[in-house]
Structure 1
Amino acid sequence: MSPRAGARALAACALAGVLFAGLTLPPVLAGGLLLGRAAASVDVTSGSLAGGRVREASVITDAVGTPIARLYERYRLPVGSDAIADTMKAAIVAIEDRRFFVHDGVDWRGLGRALASNAVRGSPLEGQGASTITMQYVKNYRLYAVADTAADRRAATADTLSRKLTEVRLAHRVEERLGKDEILARYLDLVYFGNGAYGVEAAARTYFATTAATLTVPQAALLAGIVRSPEGYDPTEQPAAARARRGEVLRAMADVGSISPAQAAAADAAPLGIVSPLRRRAPGCGAAVEGTGFFCRYVEEELAAAGIPPSELRTGGYTVRTTLDPDAQARADAAAGRIGDSSGVANVVAVVAPGSSGPRPVLALAANREYGPDAAAGQSSLPLATAPLRGAGSVYKIFTAATALEQALVSPDDDLDVPKRYTSSISPGHTVENLGSYDDRLTLTRALATSPNTAFVELEDRIGSLGPVVETARALGLRRTLDAPAPGGGTVGEAVVAQDQASFTLGPNPTSPLELANVGATLVADGRWCPPTPILSVTDREGRPVDLPTPECDQAVPTDVAADLRTALSEDHTDGTSADAAEEVGWDRPMIGKTGTTQVSASSAFLGATTAYAGAVMTFSDRGAPEPVCTDPVRVCSDGTLTGGSVPAETWYRTMLPLHRDVPEGDLVPDRDD
């Protein structure tokens, strides 16, 4: 050894002494400023290390508890010691830290060798056994649970004596507070295994489509080998290196007596056994279970409004149990998807459970699209089922009728004038015509079933102002719809009133399908509005319930008005605009319903409800500006033929018929004495 190398070796021995002193003496006596900085970091981190809090994925489930999506910053599924196979524990100890169960968190011999090698040859401080599993846990915890910035992450991985001193002190603290099995489990739940898998449970699922509890000897050995270099031993990109590394782990396991030489040889001969393709889980709602992406996004939006932003949801380890009914979702998916996904036309379904005593469960949100960014593949990242995107057409005649009923201007059996043309007095110059032939006078019930335009614009004039009609629409359920920003400033509702938009009753304004469905639920619930919700419960990572703010229910319209309106809406499926669609599927139970179509058939809608389910379907062109839509086949075209009684009504009945097979009919329309 040269004199210079000898001097470096002596310096390394001195540094090892400083490290040991740093564990036993006050910082000011045990290494001056360097140890003082390490101690300060220890004081900040040691408490959270003992608690073991890490960034953890949140899971969203359906109403019966089946996961539909995992939201995460890193794909990690902590499971704890009892859910990690002994084979995995043995493999990682054999290859990473054979003296794990006998040292106090620091392997002084290995650390001394690393310091000497660093001093003599400039080798990294990680080699020569310098990092025990406890120290690796500390390092990974600082990297994945504490570091918030790029500078923090560099500090957590820097090959410096200062960082090593901090890890030594923290490892000693961890060993004082936690048992060996707990430290080992926390390490395995935290460490990176490559290909986006953090922690052994995520790794087991990613590479083998299994769980950490059932890992075999060759599987555990492969995963244990990856830890040292996730890229260098990636079994998908470097299979030969991964196999060789697995062999090293198996021999190490045999050396320490975890398995026999024969078991090691048999495992070494086994194929790598990884699944192809790997079971990578993309984060967010784009990777939700098929058909549930739009519902997942709705859940995210509602949680953000309630005070749990996406950033917290992706790291907080929440369990969100939703109201999603798997049967209702499947029926809605099947019905919505009948028109295909490549036509440039969206077909959207929202289903709500009526009720008057609290938030209404949203049972399904479906579309003929998958949620995602690839429009060419038929995906959409728009909130198709919840946001106001296109008009609902003559479904809005419900709000004019409800206002007139509340003002005692009409009853369900009263006649309305039905001129062929009519010019509004509220909005002078606004003239409407009927599409098709009608009798000169129709009852309110027949007018809602057959939908002449002029009768309802004239009814607006009898009401005298658009303000009450807009307010009724808001009260019955179109709250976010009418509060959406208007192009000229203010809200949509304010613009309708300020500009005397007599066309409001014809429904040209963008409308939320979900809110439209909730209008039906409000009418069924005797006029009592309750907020729709996708959330049954939220628990934090410790299983404690999280309280979310919930709007109160309120009486939107008097009960007698709601009853009269149900009467007036009771004939659409028997002798109205959706009768053909109802007959096609054999629908024969009481319900309320209303169709709607906007100009040039760019969008159409159907709202229907029974005592058990309320739902709305909207069909519209969703590629850029509104365009006419044709049917048979459904497509964007130059001269639209789409109506609310065609695709929307057909989709509604196909969704609802199987859901009602075992449901009692219930009384929607009260007996009348007149």
Structure 2
Amino acid sequence: MLKLLGLCVLAGVLVAGVLFPVVGAAGLVSNQASQTVDEMSAELADVPPPLVTTVTDKDGNPIASLYDQYRIPAASNEISEAMKWAMISVEDRRFYDHHGVDWKGTLRAAISTSTGNTQGASTLTQQYVKNYLINVVHRGNEAGQRKAQEVSIARKLKEARIAIQLETKMSKDQILTGYLNVIEFSQRVYGVGAAARAYFGTTPDKLNVTQSALLAGIVNNPTYFDPWNHPDRATERRNWVLDKMVENLKLAPEDAERLKEEPLGVPPEGPNKPASNCVGAGPENGFFCQYVVDYLKEHGFTEERINIGGWTIRTTMDQRANHEAKVSAETQVRKTQKNVANTLSLVRPGKDRHEVVALAANRDYGTSPDEGQTLYTLPAGVYNTGGAGSSFKIFTAAAAMEQGVAGIYDNVPSPGFHVSKVFVGGGSRCPVVAQGTRAYCVINNEGSDYPTSMTLQRALETSPNTPFVIMEEQAGMGPVVEMASKLGLRKTMAANGVGREPDPNAQKPELRMSQKEYFGPKENSPGEGSFTLGPWPVSGLEMANVAATIMSGGVWCPPTPIAEIRDRNGKVIPIKEQPCEQVVEEGLANSLAVGMSKDHEGGTATRAAQAVGWDRPMIGKTGTTQANGSATFVGATPQLAGVAMVFRPQGGAGGLCYNGVGNVTACGREGSMWGGVTPAQTWFGAMTKIMEGQEVRQLPPSDPKYERMRGRR
């Protein structure tokens, strides 16, 4: 009698708890409970389920999927009747008869729980609430997920109250559809849309009875009924669901027996779902995809927000250009060549945007180093630790023009050997200027027959060293180093001597200081004259953007990979990018372009240009570092700017040895690599194909103000 009385009291408490009467001393408790339910209801309404974000090329063709939960939403009319009835038959046969709570089953389960046994009996509406809390609201929060699943009367009461509220706000069809979109299947597949594709390679509207029965059966325990790890259990469970459909009069008994003989029909290797990150973009497009993610994170978007948003990110990538860049980079250097990277970055000039068109490398984007793969964004990041070499003479020339030192047609001195009167820190061949201090001195390339003077244009074409160190002395290291930042090397100049964020606690100045600090003027020091020879780490993408700035009349814009971002509802998501800046006068930029227009006609890149029959106006500048350890070619037409770099991504002493078209090796001695070889061949090999059929445009004319300056200062 006491047990019976206790159960009756419990039943009364359950009903009272669900109805929450506000009477007497129970009023405060009831109000608090009601507030909790309202807050949970608000969470259900305000926290949308994670969806897959799609990254596309410029034309909207998908290249990658980014997600935390693989979920593809499906509307009610996009889900087969077989799937709906399979789920109802196994989980809530009286779904269309109750109003959110099956009172008989709930009381039975609560009484069973109070006596030490756990029992289910939740309706689909209640399960929708629980699964939404677990898979959406408390996703990634183990404590919240445990609370949403705890075996307690209090949790059942809250769940029941929310279910009743939902039934007043949503139709049965909406609840069933919501449930089918939020539940988890095995192998971290969420929702019937993703399950249909991953398990059967179809869409949810085409799911047949056996497929629907398998999916409906898995939901109860996705791990236990996993069709790949436990096919026998999955088959038995599927067949049990078919029996339930017969009991619910949704399937004929003879059809059920026939369908039980069918195989599971899932892919043998596991669910067919895309990679959840940029590896899914493939070896060719992965570098661009990763740059997109990195760019968005730099602009305030968290990786979690990107991965759950269900966005469509249309990028600026031209797949054809990216492919040609990849082919050319890999043609020159094998992808598996140890410690040799060959990259090509392409940017479209413009006065309102600088869109990134391609980011390619000889290496593939991926997780297997033995197969020539890497996850480092080699074409975009500050990964060329060897430096860009004489390509940095661009900045010296631009600063010299801005400071009135020389115009492009002015003669500049080009001695074979130069001892600086300004800079110190030279090697043993340089004269001592004070105790323990040697002057900085520089020679031109051995074997080169340079005249003792030449025009600045000719110096940019043939690249002797001494004229540019002399111009650094005359212009001052401050303007020269600042010019590199202005024209585009923003991240590069902020990095230290190994391409990373400066470490204020490091003892070595090259690690403690940024490049801008290290090479620029300091207390009692005019700066470092070796800057014009580009000895420190550099970003290929930023060097490409330097060329784009020159071709844009001196307008710098951030190199952006984003064309447009739309949310799951099609609404545009704004991204606050840095504004474009007129960093040098248009006349200076145009004159510098004319000054750089001869490299492919008689300068260091001539052979590479002739090999492909290049006949377009362009700007160009090669660069090679000490011991031939890395090399660069900067080039641009009015329509497209780009930089090719070959370097040692793992660093180390020694050079790069050129073995003819098709491969380069990292050698332990001074190498035979030059900017006019592999980098120029990579640039021209790709650009010839990319520019094919496009209009031949002329370079802008030079400004007389920057043609001749001698005697004007």
Q: Which residue of 2 aligns with 1:133?
A: 124
Is it true that 1:657 corresponds to 2:688 in the alignment? yes
Matched residue SS, 1:236? coil
Structure 1 segment 381-530 matched on structure 2, within 5 A? 381-389=375-383, 390=385, 391-428=387-424, 429-435=439-445, 436-440=447-451, 441-463=453-475, 465-485=476-496, 486=502, 487-497=510-520, 498=522, 500-530=527-557
Is it true that 1:288 corresponds to 2:281 in the alignment? yes
For 1:143, the aligned partner's letter is I
Q: Is the 8 A contact 1:336 1:368 kept in 2?
A: yes
Matched residue SS, 1:314? helix
For residues 627 and 233 of structure 1, do their structure 2 counterparts lie closer, same or farther at Cα, with a shift above 3 Å needed?
farther
Whole-angstrom distance in 1 between the partners of 2:544 and 2:32: 61
Q: Is the 8 A contact 2:588 2:703 kept in 1?
A: no
Matched residue SS, 2:634? strand
For 2:359, the aligned partner's letter is L
Work out which of the residue numbers 249, 253, 256 in structure 1 matches 2:248: 256
Q: Which residue of 2 aligns with 1:81?
A: 76
Q: Which residue of 2 aligns with 1:21?
A: 16
Q: Is the 8 A contact 2:629 2:648 kept in 1?
A: yes
For residues 557 and 55 of structure 1, do their structure 2 counterparts lie closer, same or farther at Cα, with a shift above 3 Å needed?
same
Whole-angstrom distance in 1 between the partners of 2:61 and 2:25: 55
Matched residue SS, 2:184? coil
Structure 1 segment 327-338 matched on structure 2, within 5 A? 327-338=320-331
Whole-angstrom distance in 2 between the partners of 1:535 and 1:172: 45
Matched residue SS, 1:427? strand
Whole-angstrom distance in 2 between the partners of 1:36 and 1:140: 25
Q: Which residue of 2 aligns with 1:618?
A: 645
Matched residue SS, 2:326? helix
Offset, 1:123: 2.8
For residues 526 and 515 of structure 1, do their structure 2 counterparts lie closer, same or farther at Cα, with a shift above 3 Å needed?
same
Whole-angstrom distance in 2 between the partners of 1:22 and 1:538: 46
Offset, 1:270: 2.3
Matched residue SS, 1:437? coil
For 1:329, the aligned partner's letter is N
Offset, 1:8: 5.1
Offset, 1:280: 3.6
1:350-393 per-residue CA deviation (whole Å, 9 max, x = no partner) reads 1111111x221111111223334543443323332222222111
Is it true that 1:644 corresponds to 2:709 in the alignment? no
Whole-angstrom distance in 2 between the partners of 1:33 and 1:145: 30
Alpha-carbon RMSD? 2.5
Q: Is the 8 A contact 2:130 2:159 kept in 1?
A: yes
1:158-201 per-residue CA deviation (whole Å, 9 max, x = no partner) reads 12212111111111111111111111111111111010111122
Q: Which residue of 1 aligns with 2:432?
A: none
Whole-angstrom distance in 2 between the partners of 1:30 and 1:335: 80
Q: Which residue of 1 aligns with 2:262?
A: 270
For residues 611 and 103 of structure 1, do their structure 2 counterparts lie closer, same or farther at Cα, with a shift above 3 Å needed?
same
Q: Is the 8 A contact 2:591 2:703 kept in 1?
A: no
Q: Is the 8 A contact 1:125 1:159 kept in 2?
A: no
Whole-angstrom distance in 1 between the partners of 2:362 and 2:218: 42
Whole-angstrom distance in 2 between the partners of 1:202 and 1:76: 5
Whole-angstrom distance in 2 between the partners of 1:511 and 1:605: 10
For residues 292 and 243 of structure 1, do their structure 2 counterparts lie closer, same or farther at Cα, with a shift above 3 Å needed?
same
Relative to the length of structure 1, the TM-score reads 0.92
For 1:285, the aligned partner's letter is C
For residues 527 and 404 of structure 1, do their structure 2 counterparts lie closer, same or farther at Cα, with a shift above 3 Å needed?
same
Q: Which residue of 2 aligns with 1:216?
A: 208
Whole-angstrom distance in 2 between the partners of 1:306 and 1:671: 37
Whole-angstrom distance in 1 between the partners of 2:156 and 2:568: 31
Whole-angstrom distance in 1 between the partners of 2:10 and 2:55: 51
Q: Which residue of 2 aligns with 1:583?
A: 610
1:530-571 per-residue CA deviation (whole Å, 9 max, x = no partner) reads 221111122233332222212222222222212221111112
Q: Is the 8 A contact 1:191 1:199 kept in 2?
A: yes
Is it true that 1:349 corresponds to 2:344 in the alignment? yes
Matched residue SS, 1:426? strand
Q: Is the 8 A contact 1:21 1:30 kept in 2?
A: no
1:103-122 per-residue CA deviation (whole Å, 9 max, x = no partner) reads 111112222332344355x3
Q: Which residue of 1 aligns with 2:569?
A: 542
Moved more, 148-157 or 655-664: 148-157
Moved more, 158-167 or 43-52: 43-52
Moved more, 25-34 or 376-385: 25-34
1:263-287 per-residue CA deviation (whole Å, 9 max, x = no partner) reads 4344333221111323243433233
Whole-angstrom distance in 1 between the partners of 2:156 and 2:587: 76
Is it true that 1:310 corresponds to 2:303 in the alignment? yes
Q: Is the 8 A contact 1:612 1:663 kept in 2?
A: no
Matched residue SS, 1:430? strand
For residues 242 and 524 of structure 1, do their structure 2 counterparts lie closer, same or farther at Cα, with a shift above 3 Å needed?
same
Structure 1 segment 108-127 matched on structure 2, within 5 A? 108-119=103-114, 122-126=116-120
Relative to the length of structure 2, the TM-score reads 0.88
Identity of aligned residues (%): 42
For 2:440, the aligned partner's letter is H
1:636-662 per-residue CA deviation (whole Å, 9 max, x = no partner) reads 111222221122111111221111112
Whole-angstrom distance in 1 between the partners of 2:540 and 2:479: 22
Q: Is the 8 A contact 1:22 1:31 kept in 2?
A: no
Whole-angstrom distance in 1 between the partners of 2:114 and 2:4: 6
Q: Is the 8 A contact 1:477 1:515 kept in 2?
A: yes
Whole-angstrom distance in 2 between the partners of 1:672 and 1:478: 25
For 2:420, the aligned partner's letter is S
Matched residue SS, 1:173? helix
Whole-angstrom distance in 1 between the partners of 2:24 and 2:238: 45
Matched residue SS, 1:352? strand
Q: Is the 8 A contact 1:529 1:556 kept in 2?
A: yes
Matched residue SS, 2:512? coil
Q: Which residue of 2 aligns with 1:103?
A: 98
Q: Is the 8 A contact 1:590 1:668 kept in 2?
A: yes
Q: Which residue of 2 aligns with 1:322?
A: 315
Q: Which residue of 2 aligns with 1:67?
A: 62
